[in-house]
Structure 1
Amino acid sequence: MTLWNWGGISLKQYKVAFVSLGCAKNLVNTEQMMALCREAGYEITGEPAGADVAVLNTCGFIESAKSEAIDNILELARLKDEGKLKKLLVAGCLTQRYREEIKEELPEVDGMLGTGSYTDVVSAVEELMAGEHPEHFGDIHRTYEDGERIVTTAPYTAFLKIAEGCSNGCAFCIIPKLRGRYRSRTMESLLHEAEELAERGVKELIVIAQDITRYGLDLGDGNSLSKLLKELCKLPFRWIRLHYLYPEAVTDELIETIASERKILHYLDIPIQHCNDAILSAMRRRTTKAELIALFDKLRAAMPDVVIRTSLICGLPGETDEAFEELCDFLREQKLQRAGVFQYSREEGTLAAKMEDQVDDDVARRRVELVVDLQSRVMDEWNESRLGETVEVLCEGFDTQEGCYVGRTWADSPEIDGRVLFTAGGVIPAGEFVYVRLTGVSDGDLTGEIEE
């Protein structure tokens, strides 16, 4: 094997595979680990078969995420048994949450990195290949969030993570215990990273954090999300998309900035979780139903074309039939165009797990189905109202299965929202913006034809 020198240490050129699970914020951490391994001289791959080490970056937020992570661990363990993989290093929220359980119940795991130790990935790989069983669990409140990344998204789209952790303390959520308190990155570091992304040809910048609305408040230097966005708008991005804005922290200044800056998309991801005041209080959310309605009215007055995406939880302890019906009525009235609907997951270590009046799983599951059906009708109605419009579409390539080009409008975030299926007379490269006349609806997607 080739020898490299990194930081004064002689390292072998190992082949390291990366698998990333969970949210976009987790993907950014994976991309940072990949860059560190590349700097160390390792060969980076996305295919675990044939690798020296597979690094699995996990999510451990709710039960479904935990199950997915364990399934991936067992699949990678199978490659080890077949001699196609030498070592398995597991990182992220699952290890941070279940360090001892993994050691006892998943001997297939050779080493672990907690959420405070992503930057230790090179040391961990070296220790693994020396026959050791590394366990790196640094301070989750003091992680290093700057540095290089290997961007793995399409070349025209990239995430910019502006903060780590969360200090909101929602009753159903374990994230603060896994990711630490809220920590904003400096404006300087963010603008430097954004400039590099723009130079690489990124056209759609997706600003992310567990809560982007509180950006800068912990720094005490006068910076805010509004000020950051104004600086980002000076860079040559076409679209700037925002995930996630907490309703109680959306200020008039922020609304004015979003409404006035043409690069910021009028697509706002605002997780409300519920509308019933008793449930919101039990969740330890900081808004009431009346305040949510007032915020949505204010957003629509400032931006008549605004598309609001939200997250909803059905089945929190204490959610009565009446509270659930109130949520359904609220959704029928507000007609939010985008929604992710989740069944409450009883997670140990959270306040909600200890609450009385736990809702039966079958009841909660049925409520999710009802809200999904309701929201599907809202989305279909909105899509049908757009037919005949000509909209700007970011082309994402030719889909051989569909037999046409696919892309997204400003109202569609990658992976979670709908697509536009369109025909064109010539070749349209992925990453090019085109104008498409919408002519139909197909299973939640829009169809159309390019307008020259």
Structure 2
Amino acid sequence: MKVAFISLGCAKNLVNTEQMMALVQQAGHTITSEPDGADVAVLNTCGFIDSAKSEAIDNILALGALKGEGRLGKLLVAGCLSQRYQDEILTEMPEVDGILGTGSYTDVVPALEALASGAHPRYFGDIQHTDEDGARVVTSPAYTAYLKIAEGCSNGCAFCIIPKLRGRYRSRTMASLLAEAKGLADRGARELLVIAQDITRYGEDLKDGSNLEGLLKELCKLPFHWIRLHYLYPEAVTDSLIETIASEPKILHYLDIPIQHCNDRILSAMRRRTSKAQLLSLFDKLRAAMPDVVIRTSIICGLPGETEAEFEELCDFLREVKLQRAGIFQYSREEGTLAAAMEDQVDEETAKRRVELLVDLQSRVMDGYNEERLGTVMEVLCEGFDREAGCYVGRTYADSVEVDGKVFFTAAGVIPAGTFVPVRITGVSDGDLTGEIEA
């Protein structure tokens, strides 16, 4: 059977897709990324917020059209959208032939066999107990790989549906992680991205002494050049963790710390565990320990009850702390969350305007950071030659995969993808840096 895989959403979802691909491959089927001509397309969806749901539905409809033209056999939908809207998908989307919930990624092969027999499989296993240690068909470039260290989340933020879709926080054992990391290094990975919904709470549930600091120290013994961290929740970033990050040369001084807001009342309504004073203290500590630290964060505009004064406080906060990277999101009212039932829902137009204002503010912060790079020499991970730009393209430690900017640079010789090179920064272009390789 020829099986196509399409993965939507976050890198954590991509890892689940790669695990399904390995199981399908082990069962003797052929893997393809192109649904046109496939016997089955497996669409692994995100269902976190409205924009993700819309993307998933658009993909289902497009694949359904391909089926209608006789260019695709069956459609199996997996992931968060399936988990959240299983009944609606089966009753309202005839394009879908079968579904897998987030507790049933490992049932992908039986589901394919059921589809082949003409059945309509519907697998929804226990989301609190999933196998996260299986083999993967790694789809990222050889020089970059993700290491998913935990599944689920127990933080219970008022705006977030993830615990209901993915279950409670569950750490993988350190032995399984180190074995997988070694395999990724042996495959040629030079950059390792350590990911989970909240990596700072790694090991708390294992009760065996495992923690993020210990895991990072072990990972640093493997032949990676860069180790990048996503996400660290601010209340769980301890002084000892800061010391570990600052003292290990392989761990990048790029920290993804979602704060969501700064106003104390809004933070409390969000059920976040920090105050504005604690956030300011944390950023001061990080910058004292690592003067070159680049902090990425996530911000939500328009939570129910957010006043103009509270939004202005957020603007002032971001102007003051100058976080170099930020994802700005409009509050999405998700059924099943505490925030969905809150009074004083902010109207769509106001929330959208606030997002636009913050995006503009943050772009100026980013421009200021980029301008400070002019004339400096930065280590760049080359990602290949960009034919459209006519030069090489890569990323610095300050730029994570897909979410941040690029460096476009010239070089006299051939620079293979995955090579680390020194680049003198000579310009800024639409948020990206330009430069030339330093001889």
Q: Does 1:383 align with 2:344?
A: no
The SS at the match of 1:222 is coil
Quote the Cα distance in structure 2 between the aligned partners of 1:420 and 1:272: 27
Give the structure 2 partner of residue 333 of structure 1.
Answer: 320
* Residue-pair matches, total: 439
Q: Does 1:129 align with 2:88?
A: no
**Cα offset, 1:107, TM superposition:** 1.1
The one of 415, 435, 439 aligned to 2:422: 435
**Within 5 Å, which residues of 2 pair with 1:6-405?**
14-405=1-392
Quote the Cα distance in structure 2 between the aligned partners of 1:199 and 1:437: 31
1:134-173 Cα distance to aligned partner (Å, 9 max, x none): 0000000000000100000011000000000000000000
The SS at the match of 1:85 is coil
**Cα offset, 1:401, TM superposition:** 0.6
**Cα offset, 1:253, TM superposition:** 1.1
For residue 105 of structure 1, what is the amino acid of its counterpart? E
For residue 265 of structure 2, what is the amino acid of its counterpart? A
Give the structure 1 partner of residue 396 of structure 2.
Answer: 409
- Structure 2, unaligned stretches of length 5 or more? none
Greater than 4 Å deviation, 4+ residue runs: none
Quote the Cα distance in structure 2 between the aligned partners of 1:63 and 1:386: 37
Quote the Cα distance in structure 2 between the aligned partners of 1:221 and 1:371: 43
The SS at the match of 2:147 is strand
- Structure 1, unaligned stretches of length 5 or more? 1-13
The SS at the match of 2:73 is strand
Quote the Cα distance in structure 2 between the aligned partners of 1:416 and 1:402: 20
Quote the Cα distance in structure 2 between the aligned partners of 1:426 and 1:199: 27
**Cα offset, 1:204, TM superposition:** 0.2
For residue 33 of structure 1, what is the amino acid of its counterpart? M
The one of 419, 435, 443 aligned to 2:406: 419
For residue 128 of structure 1, what is the amino acid of its counterpart? L
1:22-78 Cα distance to aligned partner (Å, 9 max, x none): 000000000000000000000000000000000000000000000000000000001
Q: Give the RMSD, CA atoms, in angstroms.
A: 0.4
For residue 308 of structure 1, what is the amino acid of its counterpart? I
1:307-352 Cα distance to aligned partner (Å, 9 max, x none): 0000000000010000000000000000000000000000000000
Quote the Cα distance in structure 1 between the aligned partners of 2:360 and 2:141: 31
**Cα offset, 1:103, TM superposition:** 1.1
1:202-240 Cα distance to aligned partner (Å, 9 max, x none): 000000000000000000000100000000000000000
The SS at the match of 2:384 is strand
For residue 386 of structure 1, what is the amino acid of its counterpart? R
**Cα offset, 1:104, TM superposition:** 1.2
Quote the Cα distance in structure 1 between the aligned partners of 2:110 and 2:97: 14
Quote the Cα distance in structure 2 between the aligned partners of 1:386 and 1:82: 52
Quote the Cα distance in structure 2 between the aligned partners of 1:253 and 1:34: 38
The SS at the match of 1:154 is coil
Quote the Cα distance in structure 2 between the aligned partners of 1:235 and 1:92: 32
Quote the Cα distance in structure 1 between the aligned partners of 2:169 and 2:55: 26
For residue 287 of structure 2, what is the amino acid of its counterpart? R
What is the TM-score of this pair, normalised by structure 1? 0.97
**Cα offset, 1:116, TM superposition:** 0.1
Q: Does 1:449 align with 2:400?
A: no
Quote the Cα distance in structure 2 between the aligned partners of 1:29 and 1:382: 35
Quote the Cα distance in structure 2 between the aligned partners of 1:341 and 1:105: 32
The SS at the match of 1:304 is coil
